[in-house]
Structure 1
Amino acid sequence: MVRVKGDVDSLSVDALNSHLAKARGNAVCHPSRLVVIDLSEVTYFGSAALNAVLSCHEEGAAEGTSVAIVADQPYVMQPIQITGLHRVLETHPTIEQALQRDGQSPDGEGRTPR
């Protein structure tokens, strides 16, 4: 899981990309093959952040992993919806819901039986 806080803009996006790449690498080895990006504490979500999340989704799909985004703030969700990426990106209002969609327990420690 990648927890993102504060402003995500062109000045901070390189750090975000680095964390997302590491999370994708870890997800490839995990049974769930899931990267959760928690944006619930983001205060600014610019185009650089949107591109980073989309790239993570696309690169993850190529590697066989999926990406779930946690966000419910209008300033995060609005750019996702305006660009039509809500049809591509999987979004959830809580971490628990993002993990439950994959059969994981809310603590993220493995899968529960289906």
Structure 2
Amino acid sequence: MRGDAVVVRVKGDVDSLSVDALNSHLAKARGNAVCHPSRLVVIDLSEVTYFGSAALNAVLSCHEEGAAEGTSVAIVADQPYVMQPIQITGLHRVLETHPTIEQALQRDGQSPDGEGRTPR
């Protein structure tokens, strides 16, 4: 946890074999964010080497469950193999994405529904 958000750093391959661990970390982060002043979870995918459909579903579920709990979720990713599935599925219109963690943390005025997110 950082002073300005709850940050989950994800590394390596995220697929059907590793997604349970990711879901566990994301659930814990959402729980912490409910009590955090920013009510923000930042999922840092900048060191992910494989982003499969299981990973995409985990991130989307975190976003949806966070919205239901009153927290926002921001994604940090700039790699084509992470951004392409987000764009192809149309989730770039739902998920708030940023190329750097610094930009994700400087999201003043953005709402949990994604207004103000960085277009990709």
TM-score (norm 2): 0.85
Distance 1:109 1:49 in 2: 23
Q: Distance in 1 between matches of 2:92 and 2:47?
A: 19
Structure 2 residues not aligned, in runs of 5+? 1-6
Percent identity for Structure 1 against Structure 2: 99
1:11–1:111: structure 2 CA closer, same or farther, 3 Å change rule? closer
Q: CA deviation at 1:17?
A: 0.1
Correspondences of 1:1-114 after superposition (within 5 Å):
1-102=7-108
Aligned-pair Cα RMSD in Å: 5.9
Does the 8 Å CA contact 2:97/2:118 hold for their aligned counterparts?
no
Number of aligned residues:
114
Following TM superposition, by how much is the alpha carbon of 1:68 offset from its aligned partner in structure 2, in angstroms? 0.2
Aligned-residue offset at 1:101: 0.5
The answer to whether the 8 Å contact 1:69/1:98 transfers is yes
Secondary structure of 1:78's counterpart equals helix
Cα distance change of structure 1 residues 104 and 96 upon mapping to structure 2, 3 Å threshold: farther
* 1:99 Cα offset (Å): 0.3
